[in-house]
C-alpha cells in the first residue's frame, strides 16, 4: 500500500487524533522569495511535449475519476500536502492536460442543464451520449446506451471497476448498468424506475445488472444491497449475495482476503465488498462552520474508521491491475479499468475539508500506481479527470464568509482557510457547473489537450482500444 511520507507522519504522530491550535510546523521545501524562485518550468518545453505525443493503439486503458475534483479541490490538496510550490506526484505528473465541459441535459427539452450530477456526467464518458441528471447510461428517452466496459468485454478485453463508494453509486454504475433513476440499487429500491425492474420485464436493479455485466474485477463498498432478494427471474427469493456466489463470483470482504486473490476471469470474477455502504475516508477532521475560519488552525488526522480491514484506493487499484494484466487464454490481450476516488465529492458535500483533502491525496496515490504501471508497460493509456466541480474554495487565511469556513495548517506551517457557500450548516453543498481538468499519458493522450467535453472521453478510449 502506497503512503506518502507526509501521510506516514500524520499516522504516526497523530494516531487518529486532531491537534487544534498549535499544529505541527513543517519546514518550507522551497524558498520562494527570490527572483524566479516560484518557476515550475526550466527552459523551453517544446521538445518534452513533442516526446509525450504518441499515436497508435493502446493495449490497456486506465480511466481514473476524482469525483467532485475540480481545480479548487486539486489546489487544496496540493497546498496542504506538498505546499504551494509542490506537486501532486500523480495528478500533476501527467504530461498532457486540457479542460472538459460537464453539462447535462434537461430531460424535458434536451437543452443544457448547466450543473451535472455524477450520473449524467458518468453516462457521458461511459457511453458518449449526453443525458439528464439521475440517468445511468440511458439517453433522455430512457434508451440504454452501450458502455465502454461493455464494449471492451465484447471485444475480448478484461474489465475492472474500482471505487471507494458503493459499487452501485453513479460513477461505477454507469459502466455496468442502465436504469432511468440512479437510486435503483437493488430489488427493493426500484420505485423510481419500475420499468427497469425484473418483474416488469426490465434488466433489473443496478446490483443485478452488475452481476449480469460480469466485469472480471469489481471492488468497493455497498455490501448491504447484496442482502436484498431477487423478486423475479432464475434467482427469485435468493439474496443477491447468494446469487453472486452461485454464479461463480469470488467474494472478498477484507484487505487481507483481497491480497490473497491471485486470479480474476469470467470463470471466477472477483467481487470485493469492503463496507456496508461507502468506504470510510482515510482522513478525518472538523467540518466547516460559520465561525470555523477564525478559530485556531487545524491539522488533519487519520480516520480511525479506516481500519486495516479496509483497503486503500491505491491498494485496490494495484490489485485490479495485477489481476487484469494477464494474457492467459484470452481472445485478445489488454484491459479496460475504471477507478473512482468517490469521497472527494461526498466530503465536499459535507463541508469537511480534512476528509476531502485526504481522499484527494488517496486518489493521487492511485494515479501514481496507474502511471507507474503505464510507464513500465509502454502500451497503456492513462486518463485522469473529474465528473464535475464542487464548492470548496480557498479564501484569505483566517477569514469568515456568509457561508462556512475552516482553517487548516498546511505542510508549510501556513494557515489555509477553506470556504463552502452553497448550503447551510448541516446541509449538502452543491456541485458547480465549471469545466474540469483532464490529463493523459500514453497512446492517444494528446486527444485531451484543449477544450473538450466529457463525451469525448468515450471516443478517445474507444478509438485508442479499437473497440467495436
Active-site positions read 118
449 and 138 in contact (C-beta within 8 Å)? no
CA distances from 298 to 95, 280, 289, 409 (A): 34, 21, 13, 6
CA angle 270/63/431 to nearest 5° reads 110
* Alpha carbon 218 to chain centroid, angstroms: 14
For the stretch 9-38, what's the b/e string if a residue is b when 16 or more beta carbons lie within 10 angstroms of its beta carbon?
ebeeebeeeebeeebeebeeeeeeeeeeee
Within 13 Å of residue 387, how many CA atoms lie on the same side as its CB? 32
299: β partners: 19
Work out whether strand 270-273 and strand 158-166 pair parallel, antiparallel, or are unpaired: unpaired
Strands 335-341 and 158-166: parallel
The residues with which 338 forms a beta bridge, in sequence order, are 63, 161
CA 241 to the chain's CA centroid: 25
* C-beta of residue 380 within 8 angstroms of C-beta of residue 54: no
118/343 Cα distance (integer angstroms): 12
Amino acid at each position: 500500500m502506497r503512503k506518502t511520507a507526509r501521510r506516514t507522519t500524520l499516522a504516526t504522530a497523530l494516531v487518529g487524533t486532531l491537534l487544534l491550535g498549535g499544529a505541527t510546523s513543517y519546514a518550507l521545501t522551497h524558498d520562494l522569495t527570490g527572483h524566479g524562485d516560484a518557476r515550475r518550468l526550466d527552459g523551453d518545453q517544446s521538445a518534452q511535449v513533442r516526446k509525450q505525443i504518441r499515436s497508435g493503439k493502446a493495449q490497456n486503458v486506465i480511466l481514473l475519476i476524482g469525483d467532485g475534483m475540480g481545480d479548487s479541490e486539486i489546489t487544496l490538496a496540493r497546498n496542504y500536502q506538498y505546499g504551494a510550490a509542490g506537486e501532486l506526484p500523480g495528478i500533476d505528473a501527467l504530461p498532457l492536460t486540457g479542460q472538459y465541459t460537464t453539462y447535462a441535459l434537461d430531460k424535458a427539452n434536451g437543452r443544457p442543464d448547466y450543473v451535472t450530477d455524477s450520473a449524467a456526467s458518468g453516462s457521458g464518458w461511459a457511453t458518449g451520449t449526453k443525458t439528464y441528471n439521475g440517468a445511468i447510461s440511458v439517453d433522455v428517452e430512457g434508451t440504454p446506451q452501450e458502455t465502454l466496459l461493455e464494449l471492451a468485454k465484447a471485444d475480448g478485453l478484461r474489465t475492472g471497476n474500482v471505487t471507494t463508494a458503493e459499487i452501485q453509486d453513479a460513477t461505477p454504475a454507469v459502466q455496468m448498468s442502465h436504469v432511468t433513476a440512479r437510486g435503483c440499487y437493488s430489488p427493493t429500491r426500484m420505485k423510481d424506475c419500475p420499468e427497469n425492474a425484473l418483474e416488469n420485464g426490465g434488466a433489473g436493479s443496478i446490483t443485478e445488472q452488475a452481476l449480469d455485466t460480469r466485469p472480471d474485477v469489481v471492488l468497493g463498498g455497498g455490501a448491504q444491497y447484496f442482502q436484498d432478494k431477487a423478486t423475479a427471474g432464475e434467482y427469485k427469493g435468493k439474496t443477491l449475495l447468494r446469487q453472486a456466489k452461485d454464479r461463480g463470483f469470488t467474494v472478498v470482504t477484507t484487505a487481507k482476503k483481497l491480497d490473497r486473490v491471485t486470479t480474476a476471469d469470467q470463470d471466477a470474477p472477483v467481487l470485493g465488498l469492503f463496507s456496508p455502504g461507502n468506504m470510510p475516508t482515510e482522513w478525518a477532521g472538523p467540518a466547516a462552520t460559520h465561525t470555523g475560519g477564525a478559530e485556531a488552525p487545524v491539522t488533519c488526522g487519520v480516520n480511525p474508521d479506516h481500519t486495516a480491514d479496509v483497503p486503500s484506493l491505491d491498494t485496490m487499484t494495484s490489485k485490479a491491475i495485477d489481476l487484469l494484466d494477464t494474457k492467459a487464454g484470452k481472445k485478445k490481450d489488454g484491459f479496460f479499468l475504471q477507478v473512482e476516488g468517490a469521497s472527494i465529492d461526498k466530503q465536499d458535500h459535507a463541508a469537511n475539508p480534512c476528509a476531502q483533502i485526504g481522499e484527494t491525496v488517496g486518489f493521487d496515490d492511485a494515479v501514481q500506481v496507474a502511471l507507474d504501471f503505464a510507464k513500465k508497460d509502454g502500451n497503456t493509456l492513462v486518463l485522469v479527470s473529474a465528473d464535475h466541480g464542487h464548492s470548496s474554495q480557498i479564501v484569505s487565511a483566517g477569514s469568515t464568509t456568509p457561508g462556512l469556513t475552516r482553517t487548516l495548517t498546511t505542510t508549510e506551517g501556513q494557515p489555509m482557510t477553506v470556504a463552502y457557500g452553497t448550503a447551510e450548516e448541516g446541509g449538502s453543498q452543491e456541485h458547480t457547473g465549471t469545466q474540469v481538468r483532464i490529463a493523459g499519458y500514453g497512446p492517444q493522450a494528446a486527444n485531451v489537450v484543449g477544450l473538450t467535453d466529457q463525451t469525448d472521453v468515450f471516443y478517445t478510449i474507444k478509438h485508442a482500444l479499437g473497440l467495436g
